[in-house]
């Protein structure tokens, strides 16, 4: 990865509860984490994959079916309303802890960390199950102040996706790429893309005042070329927002570099 990126705070408030199994004649066990984003009323849920080691067969089947039911109820009523219903009506067998506040940069990352801390350890297999999350705060709207790039953590990769060592995750801040890329979202990129860039969304490095600093933005890349003396040269390179409220701008070939291709929103 390059040496520096723009600095924009990506932290926002969240809240979480632990789901507990309180079975007769068995110790109380944490079986899951529900993490809330109060700003969007979304809920992020992670529960144990199996319960045979902490519950009898009949109870294990009930707990195994719980995750799908919780997700369905969150989708129907919203995370806050669902959590209030849990707080009002839980049985003695299924309990939740009091709400705890937490600062969140990536809900995927924080959920995985809370689960590992309170339920069971999550194995992180780099570039197999997880991709690096960088402190990159790509400004989807304007270029900003520079900062060093570091791997904050490793976050779970999207399910079903083939993971390679050229993938990484980063925050995109700003509204110029909405609605496709929401402000503050965590996104997946492929470093050093090959092939045509035309019409693709790219992470662009714009060179700074010195040779080892740069600033970054995410935009759709378009260009026009002409043939001159048997070779093709750019006559125009334009970085375009998707949000019509923002203006595109032209860049000179020597003033920027394409660092990565945007692949998808993770969260």
Tally of structural domains, the chain: 2
Backbone φ, ψ for residue 195 (5° rounding): 85, -175
Nearest by Cα to 30 from 48, 56, 52, 43: 48
Choose the final residue of a domain: 118, 149, 175. 118
Report the C-alpha gap between 91 and 87 in whole angstroms.
10
- Tens of pLDDT along 206-230? 776 444 445 788 999 998 766 666 6
Residues 19 and 60 in one domain: yes
> What pLDDT score does 192 carry?
87
Eight-state DSSP code of residue 197: -
The model's pLDDT over 129-174, given as tens digits with 9 standing for 90+, comes to 999 988 777 766 655 555 556 667 888 898 888 999 999 998 888 8
How confident is the model over 248-259, as pLDDT tens digits?
A: 988 887 778 888
- pLDDT for 139 equals 61
Question: Is the pLDDT score of 115 beyond 90?
Answer: yes
Indicate the pLDDT class of residue 58, thresholds 50, 70 and 90: confident
Q: What is the mean pLDDT of residues 191-209?
A: 84
Work out the pLDDT band at 88, boundaries 50, 70, 90: confident
CB of 11 within 8 A of CB of 143? no
Same domain, 153 and 228: yes
Q: Residues with Cβ < 8 Å from 63, sequence gap 6 or more? A: 21, 31, 48, 51, 55
Give rounded-to-5 percent helix, strand, coil for the chain: 20, 45, 40
Pairing of strands 167-173, 130-139: parallel
Neighbours of 144 (CB within 10 A): 18
- For the beta carbon of residue 5, count every other beta carbon within 10 angstroms: 28
pLDDT at 232: 56
Average pLDDT over the chain, rounded to whole?
84
Q: Please check whether residue 5 lies inside any domain of the structure.
A: no
Question: Do 248 and 171 lie in a common domain?
Answer: yes
Question: pLDDT tens digit string along 23-51?
Answer: 888 899 999 999 999 998 999 999 998 99
Any idea what the CATH number is for the domain that residue 250 is in? Answer: 2.10.109.10
Cα 153 from Cα 138, distance rounded (Å): 17
Residue 205 confidence class, pLDDT cut points 50, 70, 90: confident
> Is there a single domain that holds both residue 112 and residue 141?
no
CB burial string 151-178: b at 16+ within 10 A, e below: ebbbbbbbeeeeeeeebbbbbbbbbbbb
Higher pLDDT among residues 146 and 61, named by residue: 61
Domain that holds residue 95: 12-118
Give the per-residue pLDDT at 140: 64
- In this structure, the answer to whether residues 151 and 78 fall within a common structural domain is no
Q: Do 238 and 137 share a domain, yes or no?
A: yes
The span from the CA of 19 to the CA of 53, in Å, is 17
User: What is the distance, to the nearest Å, from the Cα of residue 182 to the centroid of all Cα atoms in its chain?
Assistant: 11
Task: Tell whether 141 and 257 lie within a shared domain.
Answer: yes
Considering the domain architecture, whether residues 84 and 195 belong to the same structural domain is answered as no
Q: What is the pLDDT of residues 93-112, one digit of tens each?
A: 888 999 999 998 888 889 98
Tens-digit pLDDT profile for residues 7-24: 334 578 999 999 999 888
**Does 192 map to a domain?**
yes
Query: pLDDT grade, residue 202 (50/70/90)?
Result: very high
Diameter of the chain measured on Cα atoms: 85
Q: What is the pLDDT of residue 76?
A: 94
Judge if 114 and 131 occupy the same domain: no
């Amino acid at each position: 990865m390059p040496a520096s990126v723009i600095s924009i705070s990506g932290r926002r408030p969240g809240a979480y509860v632990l789901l507990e199994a309180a079975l007769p004649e068995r110790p109380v066990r944490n079986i899951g984490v529900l993490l809330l984003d109060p700003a969007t009323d979304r809920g992020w849920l992670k529960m144990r994959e199996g319960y045979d080691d902490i519950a009898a067969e009949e109870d294990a089947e009930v707990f195994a079916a719980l995750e799908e039911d919780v997700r369905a109820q969150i989708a129907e009523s919203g995370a806050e309303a669902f959590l209030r219903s849990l707080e009002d009506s839980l049985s003695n067998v299924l309990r939740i802890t009091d709400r705890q506040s937490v600062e969140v940069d990536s809900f995927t990352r924080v959920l995985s960390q809370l689960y590992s801390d309170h339920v069971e350890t999550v194995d992180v297999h780099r570039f197999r199950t997880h991709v690096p999350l960088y402190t990159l705060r790509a400004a989807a709207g304007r270029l900003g102040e520079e900062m060093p790039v570091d791997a904050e953590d490793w976050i779970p990769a999207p399910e079903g996706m083939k993971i390679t060592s050229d993938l990484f995750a980063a925050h995109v801040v700003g509204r110029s790429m909405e609605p496709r890329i929401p402000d503050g979202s965590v996104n997946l990129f492929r470093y050093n893309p090959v092939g045509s860039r035309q019409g693709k969304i790219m992470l662009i490095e714009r060179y700074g005042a010195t040779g080892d600093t740069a600033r970054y933005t995410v935009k759709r890349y378009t260009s026009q070329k002409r043939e001159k003396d048997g070779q093709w040269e750019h006559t125009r390179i334009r970085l375009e927002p998707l949000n019509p409220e923002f203006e595109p701008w032209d860049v000179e070939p020597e003033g920027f570099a394409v660092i990565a291709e945007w692949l998808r929103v993770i969260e």
